[in-house]
Amino acid sequence: MSPREAAEATGIHKLTILRWIRSGKLPAEEVITSNGKGYDIRPEDLTHAISVPRKKKEAIPSPPRGSVVAELEAMRLLIQQQGEAAAKREEDLQAEIKDLRGQLHQTEARITEILRALPAPAKEPRTGLMGRLFKRGKQ
Per-residue pLDDT of 83-122, as tens digits, reads: 999 999 999 999 999 999 999 999 999 999 999 998 887 7
Domain-embedded: residue 131: no
pTM of the entire predicted model: 0.39
Pick from 31, 51, 45, 39: nearest CA to 3: 39
Pick from 54, 56, 31, 58: nearest CA to 42: 31
pLDDT tens-digit readout, 2-51? 888 988 888 889 898 899 898 888 899 988 888 788 899 998 888 888 87
Looking at the fold, whether 27 and 61 belong to one and the same domain comes out as no
Domain-embedded: residue 17: yes
- For 44, the domain range is 3-51
